[in-house]
Every structure is written in C-alpha cells, then in structure tokens.
Structure 1
C-alpha cells in the first residue's frame, strides 16, 4: 500500500523525531511510505487541518504518485478526516488510528485482543456519534425523517453493549492477575517489570535474562502481551521479571485505558527496569515520554533503575553508575551482545537483598503487595 506521510510543524516538541517515528509506524502497519509532505502552521485548520492550499498540494501528489493512503502525523477530528477524504479521494488515517491498527495486527493473546478491540470500539464510538450529529439536529426533511436517527441509536446501542461486555472480560482478567500477584506476594518474591519506549530492546533483554523465546524484533510494538518468568539470582533466591508493552509519544488515551489490565504488572511491581535506547538521539525525550505514561497509569511512585541499552551501537562500555548515596543510578548494557547483563543481575540482586532487609526490620504488612522499597531514586536525574 503506497502512502504519503503528512506532518505539520506547529513549533512544538521534536518535529523531526516525531516524523521519523511516523515512517516507522507506517511501515509497521504494512504501508510503503513513498513521499513526505511537510507544512507549517500556527494552529490546525478547522476544516482540513492543513488548509485548502496544502490539501490541494497533497491531492496532486496522490494523483501523480498513484498513492493509496495518506497518513497524518496528528490526531484528526472526524469532520477533518471526512473533508480530507473528500478532497484527496483516498483513505486518510491519523496517528491514533495507525497505532490502533498496529496493535490490532500484533495482539496474540486473548487478553491482548480484548484490549485492542475495546480501544478500537471506543475510538469508533466517538467518531460515530460526532459524525452523525448533523442528523440529530434535523427536524425532518426528505430522506431525513427518522431512519437516520434510528440507525444512529442502533449503532450506539450495539457498540455500547459490546464495550460493556469487553470491560467485563477485562475485569475478570484483572481479578486473575490479582490472585497471581498475591500468590507471589505470599512467597516474598520480588516483582520486576521492564518498561520503556517502544523498540528500546525490552524483549531482547527479557530473553537474555530469562532464556525465554519471547518475540523480539527491530520494529515498533513488537510486544503487546505481558510475559512473566522466574529468574534465580543466587543468594537472594528467585525474582519474577515481566516484559510489557512499549510506550510512544502521543500514545492514544483509549489504548492506555484499555491496556490497564496488562499494565497492572507495572503498577504493582517492586521495581521498574526503565530500558532506554542509548544510541537514540532522542533518548532523553523518550525517557520523559515513558515517565509521563507511568504517571498516567499511577506507576510513577515505583522505584526505577535506568537501563542504558544498545551500548554497542552507542560506543559505550558496560558499567554501573551510582549516585553520591551509593544508590544505583544506571546500568549500561547491550541486551543483544550480552555485555553488562551480569552487572544488571547483580544490581537486581542488590535491590532484592536490601528490600528483604527492609521488610524484616519493619512490622509485617497486611498485604505483601503493598510493600515498596525506596532505596532507589523514584525519579532519576539524567
């Protein structure tokens, strides 16, 4: 599917990095980016987002290059999307729809598929309601007496019923996860979650540490389903390590909400291994984006260890960096080559040992899941 990528620079954020990401997202969804069309505005055009002149420029490019789809690096309103499709005469997809489509393609487990369908229906419901409001305002007229409004209410009801059913399924899955977490809590097993920007190398690191065969690829959102494995760390015993979905800038809110069941592993972890692509020129911004999503899901209070991954590509050496209080700040590794992974194991073992010492020196808690060790910085300065 031949695609044109459209980006409008409003003078905010890293426009070039966001546009590069759009190309990767489009390729991940199965499109072939043929050309990129850029624009600059102070604010979006209410009708066409890019303005009538730029829309005609895009339409000409679509015709000249025989393109099949136009992908916008922005969230479009339903009206803007319809107006653009009318002018361009091809399908128009915004960033939110593109990410939803990738998630739909990648979801493998029953839970993942339920979460993706819920997010898609919530997105569709918003567009359906807004897209039909012109019929709600009608008081009659030829072709507009009743049936349109009746169909709208039917569509709303069917989507509402399906959404209700999917939410019930996710609640059941959440209860199952809660039971598993409580069982781990009773065994005093440390819970570790890998978090990070998409394509930072979380699944590769997970495989390196656990000898698992989780799917890992150089593409966005290769992992959607949480996978957990036990890892034995010598004197401190076993810990549970979980691989989770990656984050991205402008991650649709309905996806964050729908994937809350998957992200529960993150919310209830004892420590987060925040995996960062050390070779990325936008790594600091990516760290900020991940922390913003962690805050949104209520996991910003959990201690973090920054894992500077892909040091082989960044020209760095394996190392452990500590702060003035001798707290581990960062661990420099390459999950691909295995360099520094032993240092990371030692860092986790040190964390586990200190938490065990902290637990035994305090009064027993009613719920082991609520115990948190605060020796590591909650917010690490970069």
Structure 2
C-alpha cells in the first residue's frame, strides 16, 4: 500500500512537489479550499478544506493514516504543518520556530546590533518615523507578518504622511533602504552545517513583487557562504530548509526576509536545473529521516523563470501558449489562469498568471532574454 502524504495548498507552487511525490510512489492528498486550482488536478485526492483550519487538517491526517505533511512556498500554511508534525511527532517544524519567523521583528531585532541586515525600527508615532528618516534617506515599510510582498511601502521624508495611516504603524516594521543586487536564496542546514546554499538573481516590479529569478554564474561565492554562516549563528538556525531574500552590495550582504520553507515562484525547479540540487527529493528524505549524502553544489547552467503577470485588472481574453518567439530557450510554460478568469493587478505574489522557465548560454544572454520575455505580450485582457 502506498504511503499517504498531505500537501497544503493547490496553487502552481505545489505542482512540482506533487508530481515528485507521485513519481516516488506516494499517494498525494491535496488540502485546499480552491479544489480547481492547477496543483489540485495533479493530486490523487483533493479535499475541499481550508488548510488554515488546523483542527480539521489534524483530523484528516489521522483519518487518512498519512505519513507526512508538506507545505512549500506558503507562510500561511506553516502553522498547520508544524501543528501536525508536532502532534504526531514527525520530523519538521516546531511551533516555536514558526511563531518566531512569522513576526519579522523577532529576527530583525536580533540583527540590529550586527551588520547582517538593514537597520530596522518599530514605530508607534509619525514623529518616530520622521526621526528615522534623518538617519536614512529612504525607508522600506513591511507588515510584521505575511509574505508575497503584500503591503510593502517605500517611504521618503516627503511622502511619509500620506502613505500609512498612523493607526497602521504598529502593524509594520521599518528598515533602511539599501541599494544593490537583490538575491533569493534557498538554504538547507543539516547536522548544524550548511548543506547547500543556492542563490538566484531576483527581479522585482515597481511594487516590490518578484517577477523573475535568474541563476547566474558567480552568485555562489566564498563571501556569501561566510555571510550565511554568520547569519546562521546569529539567528541560531536549526536544521531544516529556509528561503531568504538578501540584498548584495559589493561583497556585503544584508538579510531582508527569511522563512523556514522552500521558496515559491518555481525556485526549486530553477535551482534543480541551474545547480543540480533536487530540493523536493532532499525535503522528502529529510522529512522521512532517510540518509542524505554529502552534497557538492556548483553552478551548472544559466536558467531563469519569468512570472507572467499584469499591471492592470481585467478578464483574460487570450494567452500565448505555442507560438511565442522564445521556443528554443523554453524549458516549461504553464498558466495558472484560464480564459475568462479575472486577472488582478500584480501587487502580491498570489496574483500571478503563470510561469515561463527558460535557459541560456551565458549570464549576458539570460539577462537579455529576460528583458525580451518581460516585454513580450503573453496575453490580452478586457480591462475593467
């Protein structure tokens, strides 16, 4: 009889994980209140239940006699995953870890006395925000909890009074803006040692939402590894998987965000192609306490992902699937939206339309391709 696994969520982020688990002979049960989403169609069984209902998911896990529970790319699903893993004494996250990383101030405050992250403040009055703006030229305001770049603000001294109601101040943390090259990075710590660190060059839109991840040669280097080991020590990171956002300024690095999970936006797929690291395989082995051989990780191939999105709201009238001009570079193209769906403005990660994964022969070609792919008309909308 096949071992059963629960997967929380059914968006495009879960598609690769479900396919991998099925290939490995697991029976996959997708728990989602959106049973018609793309990943639900891949699963062996779909249960129309919100993964936020922890007590219901605990019941499902027991009734199905499941062996493990997975969540990738979703901070919202982490409390449910940790509750199940803790209750049934499975390897995975503990509630204390999830609670710690759920509030950005917990880890940013620990790093304030180091050079490992931007200067960060909590603010209760507009006057305190003005004082902070005397220390730095520009501030990034972030909700203390949440992900997907939702609610992020750039605040200068001229704009601060209009961007955020005073009653909202306590819900935010504020950090000094650092100019540089933004990186994503998936990190796996095993036996208190960094087993791998796979960085990506990150492209964002004007709202600060990621619209691409590119694997370029040279992103992996000794200075990054030194930084990550310092960060690991400062935050006392336990064994497990982490997704980080980092700003690189020369050979200096600064932590923007961290979450105890694999990255979204097809990051595991891109990392597999670009670095040869199979994150779904490693995650599964770790969860089931299987032996993990020492990893040799290095750059292998230029590959990237473009997140198909819209800057306007409307109804999807058409989408390009077969006749685009990037065929020779295509690795995979899949859409998260159907004709007739309402398309939202891309102001948070959940509002994407799909992904295009592509490869190139050099850093320069990959960067040039990304600009061409970004400017291509992948769809048409009937605008609202």
- Regarding TM over 0.5, the answer is no
TM-score (norm 1): 0.31
Select the structure that is richer in helix: 1
| Structure exhibiting the larger radius of gyration computed from Cα positions | 1
